[in-house]
Amino acid sequence: MRLRLLGFVTSPFAIASAASLLTTAVVFASATLVTQTAPTEKPAQQSATHEAKSLSEETIIKRAEAARDSWWAYKELVAPAVPAVRNDAWCRSDIDRFLLAKLEAKGLVPAPEADRVALIRRAALDLTGLPPTPEEIDAFVADASPDAYERLLDRLLASPHYGEKWGRHWLDLVRYADTNGFERDSDKEAAWKYRDFVVRALNADMPYARFVRAQIAGDELPDRDFDTLVATGFYRLGLWDDEVPDLKQALADDMDGIVDTTARTFLGIAMNCARCHDHKGDPIRIREYYQFAAYFAGVAPYKESPFNSIEADNVLRMVRRDFGHADPEAEIAAFIARREALVGEIRALEAKSGRVTLDAFPDSAPSEGLVAHLKFEDAKSATAVNAVDASKPATVRDAGFEAPGIIGKAFHFDAGDDRVEIDRPVGDDFTISFFFRTTDVGGGSDSDRRWFLGKGLVDGEIPGIVRDFGVSYIANGYISAGTGDPETFVSSGPGHNDGRWHHVAFTRSRKSGDITLFVDGVAVDRARGSKAKLDSPRKLAIGAMLPGGGAFAGDIDEVRFYERVLGENEVRSMAFGLTRPEAVRADLAARAGEDAAERFDELHAQLAALRAPDWKGETVLAVRENAAPRETRIMQRGNPHSLGDVVEPAVPLVAARFEPAPAVKPAHGESAGLRLALADWIVDPRNALAWRTIANRVWQHHFNDGIVPTPNDFGRFGEPPTHPELLDHLATRLLAHGGSLKAMHREIMLSSAYRMSSVPTDAALAKDAPNELLSRFRMRRLTAEELRDSMLIANGTFNAAVGGPPVLPPLPREVLETSSRPGEVWPLTPEESWTRRSLYIKLKRSLQHPLLSSFDLADLDSPCPERFATVVPTQSLSMMNGDLTNEEAAKLARRLERERPNDLRAQIALARRWTSGRTPDAREIDEAVAFIAELKAKENLNDAQALNSLCLVLFNMNEFLYID
Amino acid sequence: MSHPLERPTNTFCGRTRREFLWQAGGAFTSVALAGMLSKEGFLDRQAFAFDGSTPLSKSASGAANPMAAKPTMLPGKAKSVIFIFCYGGPSHVDTFDYKPELYKHDGKTIKVKTKGRGGDKNEGRVVGPKWKFRQYGECGAWVSDLFPNLATCVDDMAFIKSMYAESPIHGSAMLMMNSGRLLGGPSMGSWVNYGLGTVNQNLPGFVVMLDSAGGPISGAKNWSSGYMPAMYQGTVLRGEGPPILDLANPEGRTDTHQRAMLDRLKMWNTRHALLRSGNSELESRIESYELAYRMQSTAPEAVDMSLETKETKELYGCDQEQTREFGNKCLLARRLVERGVRFVQIYSGGGHNDESWDAHGDLKKNHDYHAGRTDKPVAGLLKDLKRRGLLDETLVIWGGEFGRQPTAEYAEGTGRDHNSYGFTMWMAGGGIKGGVTVGQTDELGSTGVDDRYHVKHLHATALQCLGLDPNHLSFFYAGLDQKLVGVEGAEPIRQLIV
């Protein structure tokens, strides 16, 4: 049984929903067996180039077994012997010895240490993606203590910006984007929480094994929590077509994305080649591709019908931040017990006042503003009496049934055609109040609780974007309410289908647009919606949705409409049948003494202060499994309509030096445990491939190239490592550090190799021009994000906030016009967000930030293990002429004027420091002064304009764009 | 001699990133390549000459610049492509695919299998074609009254009347028509530029012009370079104002002002590079500013319509309100291919619904509008190319992402739903035989019946015309020799090629 809302008891009725889910799964499974009836989609002519000849299975198996011991990537991981070097004095660590040995063999000497300015800029950008401030540079340059550099690294590693920088590397691998692509390119809801998980995990130095297990099987971990569930968003990052021409094909493509991304990211294996046929380079059979895919067979697909939809229930979960660390069930039980105790004691004191009796539920509803009141004392008649205005009764459709009410009788709805209709009595300010009880499962779903999807309690839904409103009953006992245009809704937590009476009040203020939902006297949710008169529905339906359908099964009683917003105290009194305290206090004091009266006051205060626990949690994008994993069958030639043998989960033979442990179904029973078995196998210290893969990635981003230059392909189509022993050394060190990436950064960056200057000697150029052997450091260009962020840092506008939903800063009109919805495609977020880190700019598949895209942002649709670094004239155009760079340059100029008023030379010196870290010499300042003078004289610019031009030039300088 | 884009078969493990260097020849500029191979010295380590096997030494790299426009793999007449993309899906049975039976059944409900936005259906109410068809030219091709001007060009056009695609849904169908894949990827324009290189470094090699109604669904993904470097992506060119984003100096900045900045930048950048010898990327970047500066002066000339005669403008319909927008774009397209731009895509229709050819409601109104805006301009383009001797080397492609159904979508009205089972596209020039028709649909036009051609065959035909072997033009990515026509390949439609 899938328990959708984690951490809550399912009501007995959840079984019904599980059963319906099962049906869905069965339908899905049978759908895959239907043969395609469309005209044949086979190309009319067969390709002339297709290589039909394949090796026999046996041969491939033999090759795979042989490759495990012969191909470097699959070999057992053992700490390699450290080579002896002549110049051991240069070596700070074994990393240096591995490198130096190769250099010495070629007769090369390592470059001298980089100067301190270069070193701190290099380290800061590598670890945080942000340049150091002049103050930080000065402090480091002046720090003569032997551990100055070490402390610098520690400071940078502790920065919250470290996770942002290294998180971006990770996001490139897993195809992170904020939208789904295709016609609507809709938002991938809550994807950003996955991004934030990655940042958080890296900042916390989550051991790599845990990091991997969380993403592959975070929901199956015995100690799962919010973060590990969010981590499984890993499965949900693909391109999703919400309206597919061929469902089976679309699901096969999504699965391929999962298989390929998993194999490449964690193992450096290119599995996708075997999707259609046995791999041409590596000994991986088509069968093995589908065996690997079988680990994910339980993952509920993003789509179950070809029509325009994405299965929110399959891909979203409601989770509380403290999930796994708190016990929400107990919290809720305690809350209910506490509420009942308070109410019970208040009622008992009320009785002592002599004004109230305990045997009946007192009707304590206020009468001010009451415009309609249905008591349902005679449900069988054709009309329901309106106790406020007998001339405006409600109409009873079909026959009603009586049931015992909370007061007198109630209207019983049997989920048939019965419903009550009343002319809409309110539309501006209002409160709708009623009691209900049910054991039914509502409409909508746990993760999609928009009121108009539910079963009607009091409803005025009119299809379309109109001024309507209503209260309904959703899925596993949620209550939802909302107003239309713009669609705004509020909802409660689940579990209100316990067969007990519950009070609901929905208030709405026209002036503010505020809507509040109260359940059992407590405000459970608030939102701000339409400020218009809600006059679209002419009538309201009770016990059904107004347009038809959504028939409610249960009892409803005491429906009241007020043309005002009731206060919390009033709602609370109504919900519990409490008498106004002022009405009984004096009598209570007189009869039972002042102590009792004080106790009475105190109880009321406590009840008023009582807050419901967080029922809802928040939406996260996560994995969810079907009740039973689907069967995985080989798709012949990769064609989902041409199914072959059924296969069981297995890892590729070539990588299987040892077998994964059998899957164990997790105690929560939501999934099969297959993915956890796979994750455990991947991160097993014996899995050399996995540890080499991550060790190589860490190295790659420090030295601007991997030891294996193809980080996502360690097979025969990839390139072999330049320093295989060093790679194994790093992998074993990473294991020794317990998978701590921060420890690895430290170890690598403390080496002499990392501290080398990037300037080559003639000898180095002659003997190793490509610098494959690393006789000097490799310069690199700033990434797209670093480029933009560095401009914001330089001009002082950088907003350093970490995490949160994507931001949308202004884009050029010309870019927006490429969208099919230019006016709606890019709704700006508040201005303070415009200078957030580039990491947070919305990654929309159909529309990208032009500067970031131009500077080689990763392709959002496929794994990107290393970015291109192109140099094209259009980059120069955007850097010189674009609004963005010109605006940032002008802001830099204004900052200079503020900080060094009326001192051009000081402004220039500071500008150079902010953009390159370096203090310019007198000649450079002279040149800049002359430049400004020239612009002022020849171009008739004022001081500010000329300074803008200088700042723009500085942003275009290679000294700014490249890291030494 | 083997071609640079073809992997030498005698080298093991040849398909590596290093190989990309010579595979990627023909990028936007030589600067582009050097920079793309982001690592200094990369060029020297793994550079190959055009034969794909001779490593270029450092000293030789100047002599054999791998970035020049490339020799073609095969003989091919076309040097450029102009793709007129009728976004939304024009109705083939109302334009070029004459179905006399359809008129007779107008209004009758018949059994016919369709699949569109509204899902799978097995019957529907026939909507008779809303225009008359007549025969034109020596070839006697049928053309409806929607295209009186284009009809006079039929002897230069070749019709594929049995096209089919894998999706009847705009999003994925657009991506399929542009990139050969439902999920998208490098688009046809990217492939052509990757394969042929450029002969004009001052203009982008792949240009896209959008409708004033907006971009198509999926926006820039339609002209994306996918997993290829961004230098191969389409550049959006506007008919009014500065043609390319950021091409013009910001308001108030004179040319001398710009030049003064560039000179100062060059001086400082050169000094910076001197201290870092051996890093060719730094030098490339210095050079890229000079290229950009040259683009600033040459690109506006390319789009300067005042250089065209009144007669030429009239030929394209630039003088009439109805045809002005599209006429300008077609004329611009001719100016661009004249200047060596490899691939120009012009969108007819943008945004959603009736802003494009997506006639779900009133077919008559929709197609009258869109055909009325494009008929004369496209005919003018073909005629102008021909009289200038450019048609032989310019391949013109016309069509949408799919066609439309013979039956109505709704209980009332003339709107037709999408149809990817059968539709018409035509090609002209660039080595295409005029007056030829291949394939046909059934008597209702609901599905292709003879010689059905997948979108991949259209792509293969276009590449073949350009002298690129569709089954060998590949880009190694994710362990596969990726091709526009898919890893399994596809043959060109040889009957269409001269």
Q: Name the residue among A39, A772, A850 with its Cβ closest to that of B45.
A: A772
pLDDT of residue B7: 39
pLDDT in tens, B162-176: 999 999 999 999 999
pLDDT in tens, A53-78: 567 888 889 989 999 999 999 999 99
In terms of DSSP bridges, do strands B157-164 and B453-454 run parallel, antiparallel, or are they unpaired? parallel
Q: Do B31 and A871 touch (CB under 8 A)?
A: yes
Q: Do A871 and B36 touch (CB under 8 A)?
A: yes
Q: Do B421 and A38 touch (CB under 8 A)?
A: yes
Mutation to test the A interface, candidates B120, B162, B268, B440, most A Cβ within 10 Å: B268
Report the pLDDT averaged over residues A772-789. Answer: 95
How far is B83 from chain A, CA to nearest CA, in Å? 17
Closest residue of B to A916, CA-based? B272
Gyration radius of chain A's alpha carbons: 34
Q: Which residue has the tokens 């200047």?
A: B339
In terms of DSSP bridges, do strands B436-438 and B157-164 run parallel, antiparallel, or are they unpaired? parallel
Report the pLDDT averaged over residues B47-61. Answer: 29
Whether A178 and A842 have beta carbons less than 8 Å apart is answered as yes
Taking the C-alpha atoms of residue B66 and residue B50, their distance in angstroms, rounded to an integer, is 7
pLDDT in tens, A870-899: 888 889 999 999 999 999 999 999 999 999
Q: How many residues does chain B have?
A: 498
Q: Do A873 and B291 touch (CB under 8 A)?
A: yes
Q: Do A719 and B18 touch (CB under 8 A)?
A: yes
Phi, then psi, of A814 in degrees rounded to 5: -60, -30
Range with the lowest mean pLDDT among A164-173, A567-576, B415-424? A567-576
Whether A185 and B218 have beta carbons less than 8 Å apart is answered as yes
Taking the C-alpha atoms of residue A211 and residue A190, their distance in angstroms, rounded to an integer, is 19
**Which residues are B80's β-sheet partners?**
B394
Q: Do A861 and B226 touch (CB under 8 A)?
A: yes
How far is B234 from chain A, CA to nearest CA, in Å? 12
Q: Which residue has the tokens 């390709």?
A: A47
Taking the C-alpha atoms of residue B93 and residue A913, their distance in angstroms, rounded to an integer, is 68
- Please determine, for residue B15, whether its predicted confidence score (pLDDT) is greater than 60: no
Q: Name the residue among B184, B227, B276 with its Cβ closest to that of A758.
A: B276
Amino acid at A128: T
How far is B250 from chain A, CA to nearest CA, in Å? 6
How far is B129 from chain A, CA to nearest CA, in Å? 24
If you classify domain B80-242+305-496 with CATH, what class do you get? alpha beta
In Å, how far are A343, B98, B125, B163, B452 from B448, measured between CA atoms?
A: 75, 13, 20, 7, 6
Is the sign of the CA dihedral B218, B219, B222, B228 positive or negative?
A: negative
Taking the C-alpha atoms of residue A473 and residue A454, their distance in angstroms, rounded to an integer, is 5
Comparing C-alpha atoms, which of B368, B350, B375, B448 is closest to residue B414?
B368
Taking the C-alpha atoms of residue A379 and residue A390, their distance in angstroms, rounded to an integer, is 16
For helices B255-274 and A922-938, the axis angle rounded to 10 degrees is: 170
pLDDT of residue B22: 30
Taking the C-alpha atoms of residue B244 and residue A229, their distance in angstroms, rounded to an integer, is 45
- Please determine, for residue A8, whether its predicted confidence score (pLDDT) is greater than 50: no
Domain boundaries, chain A: 88-156+687-779, 165-322+622-683, 327-362+578-614, 364-577, 783-854, 883-963
User: Where does residue A30 rank: exposed (0-12), middle (13-18), buried (19+ CB within 10 A)?
Assistant: exposed
Mutation to test the A interface, candidates B9, B183, B423, most A Cβ within 10 Å: B183
Q: Do B351 and A820 touch (CB under 8 A)?
A: yes
Comparing C-alpha atoms, which of A428, A432, A412, A431 is closest to residue A420?
A412
Max CA pair span of chain A: 106
Q: Do B41 and A770 touch (CB under 8 A)?
A: yes
pLDDT in tens, A814-870: 999 999 999 899 999 999 999 999 999 999 999 999 999 999 999 999 999 999 888
What percent of chain A has a predicted confidence (pLDDT) above 90? Answer: 72
Q: Name the residue among B29, B261, B488 with its Cβ closest to that of A50.
A: B488
How far is A181 from chain B, CA to nearest CA, in Å? 7
How far is A852 from chain B, CA to nearest CA, in Å? 11
Mutation to test the B interface, candidates A247, A309, A820, A941, most B Cβ within 10 Å: A820
Q: Do B210 and A760 touch (CB under 8 A)?
A: no
How far is A526 from chain B, CA to nearest CA, in Å? 35
Chain B residues inside the 8 Å CB shell of A264? 478
What is the ipTM metric for this complex?
0.82
Amino acid at B441: T
pLDDT of residue A21: 29
Bigger pLDDT: A214 vs B36: A214
Q: Exposure pattern of A439-471 as b/e (b: 16+ CB <10 Å)?
A: ebbbbbbbbbbbbbbbbbbbbbbbeeebbbbbb
Comparing C-alpha atoms, which of B104, B103, B124, B106 is closest to residue B115?
B124
Q: Indicate the average pLDDT of chain A.
A: 90
Mean pLDDT: which of A167-171, A301-305, A848-852, B220-224 is highest?
A167-171
pLDDT of residue B242: 82
Comparing C-alpha atoms, which of B396, B273, B350, B423 is closest to residue B87?
B350
Closest residue of B to A718, CA-based? B16
Whether B428 and B156 have beta carbons less than 8 Å apart is answered as yes
Q: Name the residue among B41, B447, B456 with its Cβ closest to that of A769.
A: B41
- Please determine, for residue B33, whether its predicted confidence score (pLDDT) is greater than 50: no
Q: Do B447 and A39 touch (CB under 8 A)?
A: yes
Report the pLDDT averaged over residues A700-716. Answer: 94
For A929, the token pair is 């002064």
Q: Do A869 and B168 touch (CB under 8 A)?
A: no
How far is A178 from chain B, CA to nearest CA, in Å? 14
- Please determine, for residue A678, whether its predicted confidence score (pLDDT) is greater than 80: yes
- Please determine, for residue B49, whether its predicted confidence score (pLDDT) is greater than 60: no
Report the pLDDT averaged over residues A500-514. Answer: 95
Mutation to test the B interface, candidates A34, A49, A307, A954, most B Cβ within 10 Å: A49
Amino acid at A695: A
Taking the C-alpha atoms of residue A455 and residue A442, their distance in angstroms, rounded to an integer, is 6
Comparing C-alpha atoms, which of A233, A253, A259 is closest to residue A170?
A233
pLDDT of residue A41: 35
pLDDT band of residue A196 (cuts 50, 70, 90) is very high
pLDDT in tens, A199-244: 999 999 999 999 999 999 999 999 999 999 999 999 999 999 999 9
Closest residue of B to A719, CA-based? B16
pLDDT in tens, B62-79: 323 333 477 777 888 999
Q: Do B204 and A874 touch (CB under 8 A)?
A: yes
Q: Exposure pattern of B389-406 as b/e (b: 16+ CB <10 Å)?
A: ebbbbbbbbbbbbbbbbb
Q: Name the residue among A812, A848, A881 with its Cβ closest to that of B220.
A: A848
Comparing C-alpha atoms, which of B353, B245, B67 is closest to residue A854?
B245
For B349, the token pair is 């229709």
pLDDT in tens, B384-429: 999 999 999 999 999 999 999 999 988 889 999 999 999 999 999 9
pLDDT of residue B403: 97
Closest residue of B to A924, CA-based? B268
Q: What is the DSSP letter of A323?
A: B
How far is B294 from chain A, CA to nearest CA, in Å? 10
User: Where does residue A380 rank: exposed (0-12), middle (13-18), buried (19+ CB within 10 A)?
Assistant: exposed
For A627, the token pair is 């009740």
pLDDT in tens, B420-445: 999 999 999 999 999 999 999 999 99
Closest residue of B to A956, CA-based? B265
Q: Indicate the average pLDDT of chain B.
A: 85
Closest residue of A to B29, CA-based? A872
What percent of chain A has a predicted confidence (pLDDT) above 70? Answer: 94
Chain A residues inside the 8 Å CB shell of B117? 243
Alpha helices in A818-942 (DSSP H): 850-854, 873-881, 883-899, 904-916, 922-938
- Please determine, for residue B42, whether its predicted confidence score (pLDDT) is greater than 80: no
Distance, C-alpha A578 to centroid of its chain: 44
Alpha helices in A91-190 (DSSP H): 94-105, 116-128, 134-142, 148-158, 160-173
Q: What is the CATH number of domain A364-577?
A: 2.60.120.200
For B171, the token pair is 């999003």
In the three-class reduction of DSSP (H, G, I as helix; E, B as strand; rest coil), residue B309 is classed as: coil
Q: Which residue has the tokens 């920079």?
A: B35
How far is A253 from chain B, CA to nearest CA, in Å? 9
Closest residue of A to B181, CA-based? A253
Alpha helices in B307-450 (DSSP H): 310-315, 321-338, 363-387
pLDDT of residue A551: 93
Report the pLDDT averaged over residues A701-707. Answer: 95
pLDDT in tens, A511-557: 999 999 999 998 888 999 999 999 999 999 999 999 988 999 999 99
pLDDT band of residue B8 (cuts 50, 70, 90) is very low
In terms of DSSP bridges, do strands A502-508 and A514-519 run parallel, antiparallel, or are they unpaired? antiparallel
**Which residues are B427's β-sheet partners?**
B158, B397
For A145, the token pair is 């203590």
Q: Do B289 and A880 touch (CB under 8 A)?
A: yes
Is the sign of the CA dihedral A139, A142, A143, A149 positive or negative?
A: positive
Whether A547 and A538 have beta carbons less than 8 Å apart is answered as no
Q: Do B246 and A846 touch (CB under 8 A)?
A: no
